[in-house]
Structure 1
Amino acid sequence: MARIKPQALLQQSKKKKRPSGISVTSILIYALIVVVMVFFLYSSYRHWSRRSQFHMENASLGVEHDNMFGDIEKAVVIPKYAVISTSKGSITVELYDEGSPHVVAEFIDSSKKGRFKGRLFNHVIKNFVIQAGDVDRPGTVEDWTSRGKHYNQLDTSLKHEAFMLGTSKAKQDGSGFHLFITTAPIADLNEKISVFGRVVKGEEVVQEIEEVDSDEHYQPKTPIEIIDVNLKQKI
């Protein structure tokens, strides 16, 4: 067997210890992995940045949305009371919006536009109603007068009490808005009047108007005027 010279053994040992070279393919694979990792990190950063900005914008829009609807709610707050100032004194009424929303809305609109200013109480029927409005329409009240005389004998336990505020159901185009305040319980009130409120203060003023002298057509001999109608949320 041939013996290997020591010098040859040394050369073989050096060849085994020398690291092998990195191929071009490996370099390209490593480079591709690095590029993918960098792209992934950048995409994640963009995603979370946009998501954070989206939430901030939504929060801002939410505040604006709440403020907008808060302003709308404030704008449509319906007054709960109306103070009818007359030449005899003030009458405060509570408005029944839930029961007669359309009538209350029309009454509020007429009040805001000052349509009741200077209007007179056209008819006064003792133990029945006092009536004021835009124009004098005796037909409606005359239809009641034949029955109005017997209302003195009405049972006070009837459903419809005194001091209720209403308007005529027989309203015609151009007739304006008429106000009726009952001064006694009326059995068939719903047949003639749409009730939309109740006197809560100033009953004595209603009674004073009721007691004025009137002619054969139930018109007051001394004019009683509505000075103004003021809407209030609290009294």
Structure 2
Amino acid sequence: MARIKPQALLIQSKRKKGPTRISATTILSCNLIVLLLVLSLIATYRHWLQRAREQTGSGLSTSEHVKDVVDSNKYDLPGFAVLNTSKGYITIELFKDASPETVDKFLDLCQKGYFKGMPFHHVIKNYVILGGHSPGTESIEDWTSKVKLHSQLTTSPKHEAFMLGTTKVKEDSKAFELFITTAPVPVLNDKLFVFGRVIRGEDVVQEIEEVDTDEHYRPKSPVGIIDVTLKQET
């Protein structure tokens, strides 16, 4: 048997123990695969996170949108009305929160010109001035029968002097009368809707109150509303 030389054995041993070399192409391919997997996971996570946020926010956005619309409509409504009367101007603050339905009807009628030329058909000193296109004499007589009692009753803040209101009528009625109190009128709690108060022009109200009237409290000379101007602010 031929004897192997020591030098040849050393070379053969090094070849067996040496690590296997990996090519640069293989390393690059593996890195690209790992990178693509990581990017795919990140993209998937972001997609589901965004979808969850949209589903959660959709319910909130709907309710918030409705609330914003209601609030904006509420605050967009005029808060003041200026009555241009034959005696001067009367500025009214409208109770949008306390009497929304009555205020809405009043504003709608203002825009339709309902109050243009409306007369004050009854004037009762130290009580009320009442305007409308169709005077109700029966209701006036009923009111005046209680004039002497009003000083003996407890006064509600909404029925103080210089308050604006309308009479309670049937829902199908197209009539809309206006009254302005010139004294506390607690006896009319069951007859009137108060939906505003005079903040400027009290002297004009008092001047109308002083006009001469007949025995039925009807002014002897015409006095009434020329026009109404709506304002957001005074």
TM-score, normalised to structure 2's length? Answer: 0.75
How many matched pairs? 221
Establish whether residue 76 from structure 1 lines up as the match of residue 74 from structure 2.
Answer: yes
Match runs of 1:165-204 below 5 Å: 165-171=164-170, 173-204=172-203
Quote the offset at 1:171 in angstroms. 4.5
Rounded to whole Å, the distance in 2 between the matches of 1:47 and 1:196 is 59
Equivalences for 1:90-105 in 2 at 5 Å? 90-105=89-104
Q: Alpha-carbon deviation of 1:104?
A: 1.6
Distance 2:142 2:129 in 1: 14
Question: Is the contact made by 2:154 and 2:186 (CA closer than 8 Å) also made in structure 1?
Answer: no
Give 1:176 shift: 1.9
Provide the C-alpha distance between the structure 2 equivalents of 1:131 and 1:107, rounded to a whole number of angstroms: 15
Show the counterpart of 1:16: 13
Residues in 1 aligned to 2:89 and 2:131: alpha-carbon distance in whole angstroms: 14
Alignment pair present for 1:154 and 2:125: no
Answer yes or no: is the 8 Å Cα contact 1:124–1:220 preserved in 2. Answer: yes
Q: Structure 1 residues 219 and 104 mapped into 2: Cα distance closer, same or farther (>3 Å)?
A: same
Deviation at 1:37, TM superposition (A): 0.9
State whether residues 134 and 175 of structure 1, in contact with CA within 8 Å, keep that contact through their aligned partners in structure 2. Answer: no
Alignment match of 2:34 (pick from 34, 37, 48): 37
Measured in 1, the distance between the counterparts of 2:67 and 2:161 equals 40
Q: Deviations over 1:43-87 (max 9, x none)?
A: 1453477589889x99xx9xx998997676444323322111111
2-structure distance, mates of 1:183, 1:119: 19
| Root-mean-square deviation over aligned CA pairs | 3.9
C-alpha distance 88-165 of structure 1, shift in aligned 2 (>3 A)? same
1:26 matched residue in structure 2: none
Q: CA deviation at 1:90?
A: 0.7
Aligned partner letter, 1:15 = Q
Deviation at 1:161, TM superposition (A): 2.1
Q: In the TM superposition, what whole-angstrom CA distance separates every residue of 1:116-174 from its partner, at most 9, and x where no partner exists?
A: 111111111112110112322222222212333x26x8269844421111111234633
Q: Kindly tell me: are residues 43 and 198 of structure 1, through their superposed partners in 2, closer, same or farther at Cα, counting changes over 3 Å? A: same
**Inter-partner Cα distance in structure 1 for 2:216 and 2:153:** 27
Taking the aligned partners of 2:35 and 2:20, their CA distance within structure 1 comes to 23
Change (3 A) 1:38 1:157: closer
Identical aligned pairs, as a percentage? 42
* Residues 69 and 162 (structure 1), Cα distance of their counterparts in 2 relative to 1, 3 Å cut: closer
Partner residue, 2:109: 110
C-alpha deviation, 1:181, in angstroms: 0.6
Please state whether the residue corresponding to 1:174 is helix, strand or coil.
coil
Instruction: Summarize the Cα distance change of 1:79–1:213 in structure 2 as closer, same or farther, 3 Å threshold.
Output: same
Conservation of the 8 A alpha-carbon contact between 2:116 and 2:227 = yes
Q: Sort the Cα spacing of 1:174 and 1:67 in 2 relative to 1 into closer, same or farther, 3 A.
A: closer
Where does residue 145 of structure 1 map in the other structure? 144
Q: Which runs of 5+ in 1 are unaligned?
A: 24-28
Instruction: Summarize the Cα distance change of 1:52–1:175 in structure 2 as closer, same or farther, 3 Å threshold.
Output: closer
Whichever of the two has the greater Rg, that structure is: 1
Would you say the 8 A contact 1:124–1:218 is kept in 2? Answer: yes
Distance 1:45 1:175 in 2: 67
CA contact (8 A) 1:133 1:177 kept: yes
Sort the Cα spacing of 1:68 and 1:188 in 2 relative to 1 into closer, same or farther, 3 A: closer
How far the C-alpha of 1:187 sits from its partner, in A, is 2.8
Is 1:46 aligned to residue 40 of structure 2? no
Structure 1 match to 2:133: 134
